[in-house]
Amino acid sequence: MQIISFLGFTALVAIISYLATRKSNEDSSDGYFLGGRSLTGVVIAGSLLLTNLSTEQIVGLNGSAFKEGILVMAWETLAAIAMVVTAVFLLPRYLKGGITTVPQFLEKRYDKMTKTITSGLFLSGYVVVLLPIVLYSGALAINSMFNVPDMLGVSKTAALWITVWGIGIIGSVYAIFGGLKAVAVSDTINAVGLLIGGLLIPFFGLLAIGEGSIGDGVSTLMEINPDKFKALGGPESAIPFGTIFTGMMLVQLFYWGTNQAIIQRALGAKNLKEGQKGLLLASGIKILGPLIVVLPGIIAFHMFGDTLENPDEAYPRLVTEVLPAGSVGFFAAVLFGAILSSFNSALNSSVTLFGIDIYKSHINKEATEKQTVFAGKSFGMVLAILSMCIAPLIANAPDGLFGYLQEVNGCYSIPILTIIVVGYLTKYVPAIAAKVAIISGVVLYSLSQFVVKPFVVGADNYPHFLHVMAILFVLNVIIMLIIGKLYPRKEAFVLEFTKQVDITPWKHLKTVGIAICVIVIGIYVYFS
């Protein structure tokens, strides 16, 4: 029964995605990379949410909540504010410039080499970290829910390879051969399923705690575990309160405003109004994210206490304990959709970055749009195969790999955010300033976290990595401004309106944006 419901829901998503995209023109750059610039607000919101939400977050963040409590909700709730900032400040500029990739703006603002360096950083982050980890964590979840080793009569290692390649091949078909629109449509359907399935876990968990009453379950959970409901973390916690005002907001702004795998959904909007609607709808739903990726971890702590040695086991065990047997197949299908979404979204963005920013810019400058798309697809196939080969090897990596994921991403996230922010807010800072800032940002952060911290000062006496990000962000901004003062551009940069789409803003943008920010602040006040 579980297998039938799993295959049924997965097939339904594939059929609907095919029907919705079979008439799309995938031979042009806009058609393939941006869904023909035809995405509506609802599709953008669904794709944004599911691209973000995958097994490493559902399992990992609930594991953190099992250990730390509600304070880890900062990764979810503060994302809502970052999306509002993106909708108000960044998206209008992106759509006005008619860009397909974020590095394209950097070429217009600085020069081609700055764009190439940035594209290379994005691709290295996707290949080395994001794609293999999504495949690995997804394969572990599927293997656990269906007990794949016993089902196939193979070892755990063999089952891991089989599941990784199964997920990778299916995700590649969506991303490489369907383009952004196929990814976005499948994401939207799976997002609905994920919201339903994800909310069922805390629902049944609270029912179990309250012996049939949700209200009693909530009261019992909060009365017995008051320390788990403190949103403001201390100096020794995973997210000290001060980091909310430093590196945390910078990481969120990079992720939701400049990360190609995320912002590409909004770049495919049919107009600015739909793009802003999509971002704000996603941000409103994101506030409810802790119900799916934080609350189950606290429920698991209440139910299992100290019986779990590994906090990351909390969510899978809770699912098996509280979810009715008939629902496991549906939830596994939804989880499978989340795995696919993160994988194929990063892969599609990698294809886009290579085709537009590297192949057409450096390899074949006279390439037609059809040739550019073909080159991107070919690169995507190679990338997918490499990721599928690397992913199972993560099982042999040192402990703590997932815990360092956010820290490692800082090597490229903050330098890229720095040059984009300065690029939009100034007119005379030259290209050389961007190159200096992005290289110094990567080098200084790497030295700080992977040389000075472990070998010179010691982790116990070192500032939190989010504080380090903020310090280096400010330092690199100052470096860029000094260079701009000493060696300014000859002509002021003016953002050209390409008239690709209508850039009339949504009339309720400010009202809804302010309301979302007030709700987030209210949540922190309530749980303080």
Give the tens place of pLDDT for each residue, 172-185: 775 555 544 555 56
* 435 CB-near residues (< 8 Å, 6+ apart): 110, 113, 114, 117
Q: Does residue 86 lie in a domain region?
A: yes
pTM score of the predicted model: 0.81
Distance of CA 506 to the CA centre of its chain: 25
β partners of residue 271: 502
- Domain range for residue 366? 30-396+498-526
At residue 507, does pLDDT exceed 80?
yes
Percent of residues, the chain, with pLDDT higher than 70: 86
Q: What is the CATH number for 52?
A: 1.20.1730.10
The number of distinct structural domains making up the chain is 1
- DSSP secondary structure letters along 425-487: H-SS--HHHHHHHHHHHHHHHHHIIIIIIIIII-GGGS--HHHHHHHHHHHHHHHHHHHHHHS
Q: Does residue 12 lie in a domain region?
A: no
Question: Is 442 within 8 Å of 413 (Cβ atoms)?
Answer: no
At residue 138, does pLDDT exceed 90?
no
Contacts 24+ apart (CB under 8 A), 306-311: 308/66, 310/63, 311/63, 311/64, 311/66, 311/67
For tokens 């559902």, the residue is 58
- DSSP secondary structure letters along 260-285: HHHHHHHHTBSBHHHHHHHHHHHHHH
Q: Is 288 helix (H, G, I), strand (E, B) or coil?
A: coil
* 327 CB-near residues (< 8 Å, 6+ apart): 197, 200
Q: Does residue 59 lie in a domain region?
A: yes
The per-residue pLDDT of the chain, averaged, comes to 83
Q: Does residue 5 lie in a domain region?
A: no
Average pLDDT value for residue range 483-512: 91
Q: Does residue 458 lie in a domain region?
A: no
Question: Is 183 within 8 Å of 20 (Cβ atoms)?
Answer: no
pLDDT score at 97: 86
Q: Does residue 167 lie in a domain region?
A: yes
Q: Does residue 237 lie in a domain region?
A: yes
Taking alpha carbons only, the member of 416, 342, 366, 344 closest to residue 102 is 416
For residue 398, the tally of other CB atoms under 10 A from its CB is 6
Q: How far apart are CA 436 and CA 249, in angstroms?
A: 23
Q: Does residue 385 lie in a domain region?
A: yes
At residue 140, does pLDDT exceed 60?
yes
User: pLDDT class for 481, splitting at 50, 70, 90?
Assistant: very high
Q: Is 131 helix (H, G, I), strand (E, B) or coil?
A: helix
User: pLDDT class for 15, splitting at 50, 70, 90?
Assistant: low
Digit-coded pLDDT (tens) for 30-40: 444 444 566 78
